[in-house]
Amino acid sequence: MYREILTRLGEDPKRDGLVRTPERVEKSMAFLTKGYQEDPAKILRGALFDVDYDEMVIVKDIEMFSLCEHHMLPFIGKVHVAYIPNGKVIGLSKIPRLVEVFARRLQVQERLTRQIADTIQEAINPQGVGVVIEARHLCMMMRGIEKQHSSTVTSAMVGCFQKKETRSEFLSLVRGANNGNAGL
């Protein structure tokens, strides 16, 4: 398939630099879409803990790389996830793993945002979940409109995060000083 694409582009797939390109692209695509082989709920179930804590938990500035399902070009950004526990918490490293599972599928940013929030909500039934994604889309930067400095921000707010006060607290903490440095 990738050999045919090279031919259709007017290239010679037998040319020295392209001989192994179809194989490399196939491996690359398998890696970039490995989220289809992973179960997001299972990842979270492996690290749920009973804890008496009912304040906001935030994991912010999670690096995210995905492929736009419309052009199969990358979009790159940061994900901020918060939830307020209701008797159970998630092991902190599982939240970036959850982001990775959904990001490693052909995506649109809006669906990715919602999938993260809904999966956390279903896994631990917290008081609420908030997810914000800020990303730059190469499909807008390299082709089409060709705007280099635009970014897209999406959010999903579930439960108590739909209340103005909780939403505001989350957004202010995400935008907060030391952006991701936790005072270090």
Residue in 11, 38, 71, 127 annotated catalytic: 71
Residue in 80, 100, 115, 137 annotated catalytic: 137
Determine whether 68 is an active site residue: yes
Determine whether 71 is an active site residue: yes
Long-range contacts of 40-46 (CB under 8 A, 24+ apart): 40/98, 40/101, 40/102, 40/115, 40/119, 41/119, 41/122, 41/123, 43/94, 43/97, 43/98, 43/101, 44/90, 44/94, 44/98, 44/119, 44/120, 44/123, 44/124, 45/123, 46/91, 46/94
Residue in 80, 100, 107, 109 annotated catalytic: 109
Determine whether 137 is an active site residue: yes
The tokens describing 27, both together, are 């491996």
Determine whether 80 is an active site residue: no
Determine whether 139 is an active site residue: yes
Residue in 4, 23, 26, 69 annotated catalytic: 69
Determine whether 160 is an active site residue: no
Determine whether 149 is an active site residue: no
Residue in 70, 110, 122, 162 annotated catalytic: 70
Residue in 121, 127, 139, 169 annotated catalytic: 139
Kindly list the catalytic residues: 68-71, 109, 137, 139
